Chains A and B, each alone.
Chain A
Amino acid sequence: SQQGEEDPQALSIQEGENATMNCSYKTSINNLQWYRQNSGRGLVHLILIRSNEREKHSGRLRVTLDTSKKSSSLLITASRAADTASYFCATDASNSGYALNFGKGTSLLVTP
């Protein structure tokens, strides 16, 4: 099964800075989702963007989707220490029913 791949694998920034994570995938999709995972916890859904959308906002999160390049980006503005977590993109391949394929994630560290 195809997976999204996040870039970078790890990112370290200071509070107040913006964090940008990228995701690339291989086949056509219905939508793309971003999830967050705090250490030792389950994944939490952040935002979903459909294949016919180019940009979506939710609070301090901004997601873009470029289906021609098969890529997405997640921007967290004005980061906080509480944003420290791993971030995963997940693709819903158009012929896979409702299963999701997750990338290996970007580990974000926000220092005070």
Chain B
Amino acid sequence: DAGVIQSPRHEVTEMGQEVTLRCKPISGHDYLFWYRQTMMRGLELLIYFNNNVPIDDSGMPEDRFSAKMPNASFSTLKIQPSEPRDSAVYFCASSTMASGGGETQYFGPGTRLLVL
């Protein structure tokens, strides 16, 4: 398996522009997570899906952020309009449910976003 795939790997945009980050989870995984990593705040969970349904979006910073999962093999995280403080590395991760809960998450390589 190719692992979790994210695109683009790097994105540079100007303030006010729309940014769309993409993720393809590992085939067969029924959980998908979006995280944001910054030096100041560390790794923050933004939102996660189970079987394509958003379960917890309490980490989404504000209405400028939205995430969708139209099918089991694709998810997007959109920022509109983008602001310089959105600059961070955004990770997508996927996992599969097993007894006991909280199983291993597999991370993509991340998208490094810079908003000028």
**A residues adjacent to B (C-beta < 8 A):** 1, 3, 29-31, 33, 35, 41-45, 48, 50, 88, 90, 92, 94, 96-105
Residue of B nearest to A52 (CB): B100
With a CB–CB cut-off of 8 A, which chain B residues contact A45? 104-106
Place the interface of chain B in its size category.
Answer: 20 to 34
Which segment of B12-20, B41-49, B70-78 sits at the interface? B41-49
**CA of A3 to CA of B44, assembled, Å:** 10
The CA-CA distance from A92 to B107 in the complex, in Å, is 16
Q: Which residues on the B side are within 8 Å of A96 (C-beta)?
A: 56
Is B31 a contact of A48 with CB atoms below 8 Å? no
Alpha-carbon separation in the docked complex, A44 to B93 (Å): 10
Residues of A within 8 A of B107 (CB): 35, 42-44
User: What separation, in Å, do the CA atoms of A46 and B21 have in the docked complex?
Assistant: 27
Do B42 and A98 have beta carbons less than 8 Å apart?
no
- Complex: how many Å from CA A38 to CA B45? 20
Asked if B45 and A101 make an inter-chain contact with CB atoms under 8 angstroms apart, the answer reads yes
Q: What are 23 A-to-B residue pairs whose CB atoms are below 8 Å?
A: A1-B45, A29-B102, A33-B104, A42-B107, A42-B109, A42-B110, A43-B93, A43-B105, A44-B107, A48-B103, A48-B104, A50-B100, A88-B43, A90-B105, A92-B102, A97-B55, A98-B95, A98-B97, A99-B48, A100-B33, A100-B102, A102-B43, A105-B43
